[in-house]
Amino acid sequence: MNFRTPFLSSAVRCLSALALAVVAPGCKGGGGDDDGMADGDSTAGTEGTGDESAESGGDDFTPPPGGMRRLLDYQYINTVGYMFGPEAAAVAIPPADQSLFGYTSIGNSLISPGLDLVETYESSALRIADAAIANPNTLAGIVPCVKDSPDEACYTTVAQTLGHLAWRRPLTDDEVQAVVEIALEAQAWGAGDFNAGLKYELVRILLSPDFIYVVETGEQDPNEPEEYWLTGPEVVTRLSLLLIGRGPSLTLLKSAEAGNYDSVESVETLARAMLNDARAPEAVSEFFAEYLALEEIPAKNPASFPLYSEALVDSMVEETELLLRDVIWTQDTDFRDFIESDYTFVDARLAELYGLPAPANDWDQVMLPADQARAGFLSHASVLARNSHYDGNSTTRRGLYIQQRFLCYAIPPPPPDVNPNLPEPPDDTPMTLRELMETVHLEVDSCAVCHAHMDPLGFTLENYDALGAWRTQEPNGLPIDPVTEYGDFGQIGSATDLAANVAMDPRLGQCIVNNMIRFGRGSLENPTKESAELQELYASFETANYRFQELLIAFVTSELFLQVGEPK
């Protein structure tokens, strides 16, 4: 398969290290370790047999700095659920993540925490510990002694076993002792109650920076001193967090510590197993939640939009979620179908909004209405309503969204001498929004410099009101004209045309790749220092016919994912 291109180049890198008889981290051969288990930590692969033309080092690739990043909110909650059960997950409330460059994974890697960080984690840990003790079965599955033999020795077992799982590394003897000391002190404080000791022991483990922060420092490549290969445990951690949304199981960690995930093949095998895990779709949706940013749909004026309700907004978001899951998981097909599909999913509320017959079930897959020029996500009510105002459309925001999120075109800040004050439109002349924007945004050169990239794309979506319903005229009775021209797109006659142009634009695939990288490793892609690797990943997405699961595989088996630079 064509997406193996980056995989082969990684294998080459590994072979070059082996040729020097220095086993580079991440390049060690993996013995088949048969610890197959539910969450995808199945088997390690064998040594790659790549091209023999070993590279002698000195490439242009410099990975982003290594270092630490804080667990994202959902990763924290899912990991708590894995360790302590759903009752504990339900009361786990980590500090809010902060976004930078559009992603909390970057924010959690670069922004210093607020001063209330530890307090929030402590409140959460206290609640989690109470819930874990009240519902001990999940914990007992990991550390049976908490039910079978709740004694002092069990505190040591908890520190060693649960600590290893939570901190994603074995604890030193001193660290075990420090944790057990807390347990014993709490047990004494609790008049000898084992569970009093256990509660504060769990809090102690959860409050450690080794649980809260993921550390990715890797080990230096002997031939490429600016490249550090993530260690096996670091790789499986990064992979688990990305693909199943939580930290790795203890079995997987131990297998990685034994060297079973040091080859690219073993990483691919593991990644494929994880994509088959039931948790993968939800984890991948966490990416799209930030990428599409649909949680920001503002309320509408009920006088103008009587169909508006928060329940309708929930339905809008669910429609987009269902189409995403259909394209990525059910069909496992070309991701561009998300942009230009001729079908969608509706419930009764959306059917009413779209003027479709009510579905027979809660949600039904339906063909888009033929007379509304809709196609794919760009004409979903979710994105249309998100990029509209309280009482009307915004051609600017709709255009900006497409440019930023699907074409990775950043609108530059206005020139210093720009006058951002809206020119006064002619009096007494009823205008459409488009005519108004053509007057105020596109006729004035200093405005048009930027707005020419936004408003014209929005014009093609003027057939959909601020809630996403079809319309052929504005509230003032003037007819909508969606036909416009934009750059290489040429003439665009409708939303369907727009979707086709966006879907066929080569920047779309690259933009999705860039965003995936940002989310998946918590750093911006670097077109200068990672040029060849980025081009390879773009190419492999294309040659995999834009199947998103294959993009994930190509990404996690590339140096873009498996390497870091010196710790920042």
Partner 1 sequence: MRKHLKRRTFLRGALGGGIASIALPALDAMMNLEQTAFADGSSQPRRYVSWFRGNGFMLDRFEPIGVGPDWQLNDHMQPLAGVKDYLNVVTGTTNRAKDQITHHEGMTVFSGYSFADKGQGQGFFSNAGGPTLDAVISQLLAGQTPIAGVHLGASKAQSPADEGTTMHHLSHRDHLQPNPATTNPSAAWEALFGSFAQPKDDRELRLHILDSVKGEVSTLQSKLGAEDNVRLEAHLDSIAALEAKLSAAVPVCDLPADPMFTNSESINTEQLTLVNELMSDLICYAFNCDLTRVATMLFLEGAAEPTLSEIMGSSDSWHQYSHNVQSWAPGAAFDNGQIYMMERFGYLLTKMRDTVEFDGTNLLDNSMVLMSSDASDGSVHSIRRHPMLVAGHGGGHLKYPGVHYQPEALSGNYSYGSHPGPTSGNTSDVLLAILQGFDPEASWVGEQLNDQGDGAGSGTPLAEILA
Q: Scanning residues 193 to 212, which ones bind partner 1 (CB under 8 A)?
A: 200, 203-204, 207-210
292 binds partner 1 (CB under 8 A): yes
Span interacting with partner 1, options 11-19, 69-77, 326-334, 544-552, rule CB under 8 A: 69-77
Residue 296 pairs with which residues in a beta bridge? none
Q: Which is nearer to partner 1, 133 or 373 (CB)?
A: 133
Give me the amino acid identity at 127. Answer: R
DSSP annotation of 440: I
Pairing of strands 228-229, 343-346: unpaired
Paired tokens of 233: 């445990």
Give the one residue of 182, 267, 275, 323 binding partner 1; rule: CB under 8 A. 182
Q: What per-residue string of b and e applies to 369-379 under the rule 16 or more CB within 10 Å gives b?
A: eeebbbbbbbb
Residues 211-240, mask of contacts with partner 1 (x by CB under 8 A): --x-x-x-----------------------
Cβ closer to partner 1: 12 or 322? 322
Half-sphere exposure of 104 (CA within 13 A, CB side): 17
If one asks whether residue 311 binds partner 1 (CB under 8 A), the answer comes out as: no
By CB under 8 A, residue 122 contacts partner 1:
yes
Euclidean distance between CA atoms 218 and 25, whole angstroms = 8
Residue 404 within binding range of partner 1, rule CB under 8 A: yes
The reply to whether 398 sits near partner 1 by the rule CB under 8 A is no
The correct pick among 189, 358, 426, 493 for binding partner 1 (CB under 8 A) is 189
Shortest distance (Å) from residue 370 CB to partner 1: 27
Please select the residue that binds partner 1; options are 12, 20, 110, 431, rule is CB under 8 A: 110
Which residues in 87-106 contact partner 1 (CB under 8 A)? 93, 96, 98, 100-102
Q: How many other β-carbons are positioned within 10 Å of the β-carbon of residue 172?
A: 9
- In this structure, the strands spanning 484-486 and 490-492 are antiparallel
Q: In degrees rounded to 5, what are phi and psi of residue 366?
A: -135, 160
Asked if 436 and 425 count as a contact pair (C-beta separation under 8 A), the reply is: yes
Pairing relationship of beta strands 563-567 and 65-70 according to DSSP bridges:
parallel
Among 32, 36, 86, 114, binds partner 1 (CB under 8 A): 114
| Minimum distance, C-beta of residue 451 to partner 1, in the bound complex (Å) | 12
CB of 512 to partner 1, least distance (A): 16
Residues 459-518 that bind partner 1 (CB under 8 A): none
Sketch the per residue contact string, 350 through 389, with partner 1: x for CB under 8 A, - otherwise.
------------xx-------------------------x
Residue nearer to partner 1 on the CB measure, 147 or 568 = 568
Measure the CA–CA gap between 432 and 553, rounded to whole angstroms. Answer: 47
Number of residues that bind partner 1 (CB under 8 A): 86
- Cβ neighbours of 198 (radius 10 Å): 25
Query: How big is the chain, counted in residues?
Result: 568
- Told to check if 173 binds partner 1 by CB under 8 A, we report no
Nearer to partner 1, 264 or 433 (CB): 433
**Residue 339 · residue 378 · CB < 8 Å:** yes
Q: Does 392 bind partner 1 (CB under 8 A)?
A: yes
Report d(CA 397, CA 411) in Å as an integer.
Answer: 12
Cβ atoms of residues 50 and 36 within 8 Å: no
Residue keyed to tokens 């097909």:
333
- Stretch binding partner 1 (CB under 8 A), from 152-160, 223-231, 310-318, 551-559: 310-318
